Structure 1
Amino acid sequence: MSTSAPSKINGVSFVASRDSINSAHVNPIINLQANYVAIMPFGFIRNLEHPRITYNSNRQWFGETEGGVKQYANAFQSQQIRVMIKPQIWVSRGEFTGKIKMNSEEAWQELEETYSNFILDFARVAEETQVELFCLGTELETFVDHRPEFWLELINRIRKVYSGKLTYAANWNEYNRTPFWNQLDYIGIDAYFPVSDMQTPTVDDCKKGWAKYKPVLKLFSENINKPILFTEFGYRSVDYSGKRPWDSDRKMNAVNLEAQLNATQALLETFWGEHWFAGGFLWKWHHKYETSGGKQNFMFTPQNKPVEILVRDWYARY
């Protein structure tokens, strides 16, 4: 692996599968001109008040387990693609992780213990595989709000086992009150900012939408003296893709490839040239390229859609 860091993190969020991966799965990412992938092992919680996280079990898909993460990391690294390991929690029925909240001190302590085990186990995997970047949580705003001391202690514990760079994936509306950016290397943001109310947003309308956030993000980065990294960014190929970009409701199913294309172009034009901006991870990329995405698909993936060519052109420039 080369020692010089890339000028921008041109990443994709790589969805775990039940299978191991090989160069056939890596090559389409190389063709995208990406230089980074996020690998996302999952832990599971029964409900928003439940303190126990189940992970690395034989009931999970291979790519979500420790063995799978190691195999994926090695497959990408062998092709000179750098890796961020980004463990995430899945709440039953897909409830939002930002609302995880215990109803007793005892339950909070149990959650802290099981979350620490989950994160530290994958931090050790990150060290063993020598990946460049580790993300210690994703969209956990209530947990962070209620237990800030826990997070500071967890960061110290991670630093003892992992020697690479650290970030946290704050949701777009929580990053400005996340209390531990000074302890990390990047201000990580899942960049689902609402930027346009149009059915088919134009590039200009989305750029106008970004105009109210961009100066605030720049100032935030400068005040903390850390670069901003979009730990997730992307839009669905649906009508009103810029209105509630986080919304994955499958009832929103009016395919609109132009909406996805324009919203993505506006984001790339707004941020990729900024010195305080480190890059980002496109949401999201599936291992079986040929059968993923396509012109009838209304979900996030850029695969086999016009937006893929746009992203490739931008990634090639940086």
Structure 2
Amino acid sequence: MKFSIVVLLCLTLVGCGSGGPFKSVPVSGVVTYEDGSPIPVGGMKVFFHSQTPPKEGMHPRPAMVGVGPDGKFENVTTYKYADGLVVGPHKVTLVAQEANGKASKLIAKECADVRTTPLTVEVTHAGQVLEIKAPKSEPFVLTKCLLALATLAAALSSSVAESPLGFVKGHSWGWVGSRGDYTSPAAAESMRNLAETSADTVCIAFAPNLKTYDTPRFTWGDNNSQMVSDDEVRHAIDLARENGLRVILKPTVNCEDQTWRAWIRFYRPLSEAAWAEWWACFGDFLEHYAKIAAEKNVDAFCLGCEMNSTESFADEWREVIRRVRAAYDGQLTYDANHGRERLVTFWDEVDFLSVSAYYPVAPPEGVTEEEAVASTTPKTEIVATLRQVRDELRDLHQEYRKPILFIETGVTNVRGCARYPWSHPDAELGSPIDEREQANYYEAMFETFWDEPWFKGFAWWDWPARLYPIDEAGGNRGFCIYGKQAEG
């Protein structure tokens, strides 16, 4: 189903409330170079960051608007569609892309970061026409001296190049990250086998446990004897580099009581104090691993996974992201669960969008699910479903002008897996192993998304730190494709 920009903006703001103590007024405007000439990009978004002091304990929400081909904009949205901007001073940031969706280098890079942008506006009245004049990017000139220094630095450094993370051909590795998992000989062998699949990226995923879904505090790293230590995480990154792999670091949280993290909440009774305690702890947690990501120069950092109940807390997420960016200057993303891609309230704060892409294939009309899972799901049915998903995600990309990564996707090798891709190995014990259906899902994913210019790639779920012996692959009912038909 196609969505208009109006509907998309409304959806992203569901549950966000009104402007509270802040007055906003409708405005319009134009973005050009400093000399008044147009900026020849394929698409641009403007973000306004109010510098008005907080009132009643609230900060003004950042606003956004898309820019037309002529550089003009209207319908700026802060709290609800086209409500305009909060009266007062704003910093302005610009995100521009070429027609193929790649980031444009035609605007000075400092304009994309609220910490460095030279662009500001002062909003005084309704109907105001804002003029935003962006500096051009400086041409990059590398002297012989700088080239020599760069060559020397490269020779002395064991880190990978600092270029932005490109297209991802990878696997999620090491979940859930129990103490000792990452430093065993089995982990080194697992990483080598992963690299031999022609992958170029590994997403290292691990988590501490909350005691229950309504426990606001938790411990991690060296203070949590159940999960991998900080040095184990560093070692896993080193293993990836030794095998020529780029690294996405993905710390997230789990619940010891087996509640899905999407249902973390504090309502017995509803407690703002408990939520505040949670956000402070979660911010400390992500900042801790962001510092390790910076230390090890990883290629991207994922801010969490499938945290549905938190996604409407836009201000809290923005503060967490601010803390993470202060610790780590690489690319940031967040992993939204499939079906919730349009409900995340802070996509504007990340560098690319990520999805747990477990899209189910519905049975054909007139066929029950019980009947459908009795036989192998044909690839044609899977492709038909994924094409609808592709069209919806293309619309999402066009709104945010950011690439989309399937940071998790895949199915087990159990018959019916395409009907419920998120289902874990012990969920359908009555269903037989069906490697053909698993391979069908992989092939359909490749055929549907590989050539989309906005698509950033796959980090297939999952590849354990302790692999099963390859001669047992035929009896393994998990997601991992090692030794299975889908690997070929």
Q: Is the structural similarity TM-score above 0.5?
A: yes
Question: Could you say which residue in structure 2 is the equivalent of 1:316?
Answer: none
Q: Any conservation in 2 of the 1:195–1:207 contact (CA below 8 Å)?
A: no
Deviation at 1:291, TM superposition (A): 2.0
Q: How does 1:61-140 map to 2 (within 5 A)?
A: 61=227, 64-103=228-267, 104-140=271-307
TM-score relative to the length of structure 2: 0.60
Distance 1:251 1:233, change over 3 A: closer
d(CA) in 1 for partners of 2:473 and 2:232? 27
1:12 is the counterpart of 2:176: no
Higher-Rg structure is 2
Instruction: Find the aligned partners of 1:196 and 1:264 in 2 and give their Cα distance.
Output: 17
- 1:157 and 2:323 aligned: yes
Query: What amino acid sits opposite 1:184 in the alignment?
Result: V
TM, length-normalised to structure 1: 0.91
Q: State the 1:196 CA deviation.
A: 4.2
AA aligned opposite 2:341: Y
CA drift at 1:2 = 4.4
Which stretch of the first structure deviates more once superposed, 189-198 or 209-218? 189-198
CA contact (8 A) 2:413 2:438 kept: yes
C-alpha displacement at 1:58, in angstroms?
A: 4.8
Q: Deviations over 1:62-83 (max 9, x none)?
A: xx32111111001111322110
Aligned equivalents of 2:171, 2:427: Cα separation in 1: 25
Contact 2:165–2:299 (8 Å) recurs in 1: no
Shift in alpha-carbon separation, 1:291–1:94, aligned structure 2, 3 A: farther
Kindly indicate whether structure 1 or structure 2 has the higher relative contact order, using CA contacts under 8 Å at least 6 residues apart. 1
Question: Where do 1:211-290 residues align within 5 Å?
Answer: 211-248=387-424, 250-253=426-429, 254=431, 255-289=433-467
- Counting aligned pairs with the same residue, the percent is 27
Report the 3-state secondary structure (helix = DSSP H, G, I; strand = E; otherwise coil) of the residue aligned with 1:242.
helix
Q: Would the aligned equivalents of 1:101 and 1:142 in 2 still touch at CA under 8 Å?
A: yes
1:172 pairs with one of 321, 338, 350: 338
Q: Distance in 2 between matches of 1:196 and 1:105?
A: 40
Name the CA distance, whole Å, in 2 between partners of 1:226 and 1:277: 9
How far 1:156 moved relative to its partner?
A: 1.2
Is the 8 Å Cα contact of residues 263 and 309 (structure 2) preserved in structure 1? yes
For residue 148 of structure 1, the aligned residue among 301, 308, 314 is 314
Once residues 251 and 221 of structure 1 are traced to their aligned partners in structure 2, the CA distance between those partners, rounded to angstroms, is 34
Equivalent residue for 1:313? none
Cα distance in structure 2, aligned partners of 1:252 and 1:137? 27
CA deviations 1:268-302 (Å, max 9, x no partner) are: 11111111000021100023445266111112111
Looking at structure 1, the residues matched to 381 and 359 of structure 2 have their Cα atoms a distance apart, in angstroms, of: 13
Structure 2 distance, partners of 1:112, 1:5, is: 29
Distance 2:184 2:244 in 1: 15
In 2, Cα distance between equivalents of 1:90 and 1:6: 27
Cα distance, 1:252–1:139 mapped onto 2, change above 3 Å: same
1:304 corresponds to which residue? 483
Distance in 1 between the 2:165 and 2:319 partners?
Answer: 30
Structure 2: distance between partners of 1:80 and 1:263: 27
Do 1:86 and 1:135's aligned partners in 2 also have CA atoms closer than 8 Å?
A: yes
Separation in 2 of the partners of 1:119 and 1:30?
Answer: 27
How big is each residue's C-alpha offset from its partner over 1:64-108, in whole Å with a ceiling of 9 and x where there is no partner? 321111110011113221101100111123211111111200100
Which has the larger displacement, 97-106 or 127-136?
97-106
Q: Secondary structure at the match of 1:231?
A: strand
- What secondary structure is seen at the aligned counterpart in 2 of 1:83? strand
Q: Which amino acid aligns with 1:10?
A: K
Structure 1 SS opposite 2:354 = strand
Q: Is contact 2:404-2:455 (8 Å) kept?
A: yes
| Structure 2: distance between partners of 1:6 and 1:126 | 14
* Structure 1 residue identity aligned to 2:477: F
- Counterpart residue type for residue 283 of structure 2: S
Q: Structure 1 residues 140, 6: CA separation in 2 closer, same or farther (over 3 Å shift)?
A: closer
SS of corresponding position for 1:60:
coil
Q: Which amino acid aligns with 2:391?
A: P
CA distance in 1, matches of 2:317, 2:164: 28
Give the conservation status (yes or no) of the 8 Å contact 1:221–1:227: yes
Richer in helix (by share): 1
Q: Is the 8 A contact 2:249 2:300 kept in 1?
A: yes
- C-alpha distance in 1 between matches for 2:163 and 2:310: 36
Letter in 2 for 1:152: R
Contact 2:213 2:257 in 1 (8 A): no
Q: CA deviation at 1:4?
A: 5.5
Q: Distance in 2 between matches of 1:58 and 1:228?
A: 33
What letter corresponds to residue 48 of structure 1 in structure 2? Answer: Y
1:43 deviates by 1.8
Structure 2, unmatched stretches of 5+, are: 1-159, 364-371
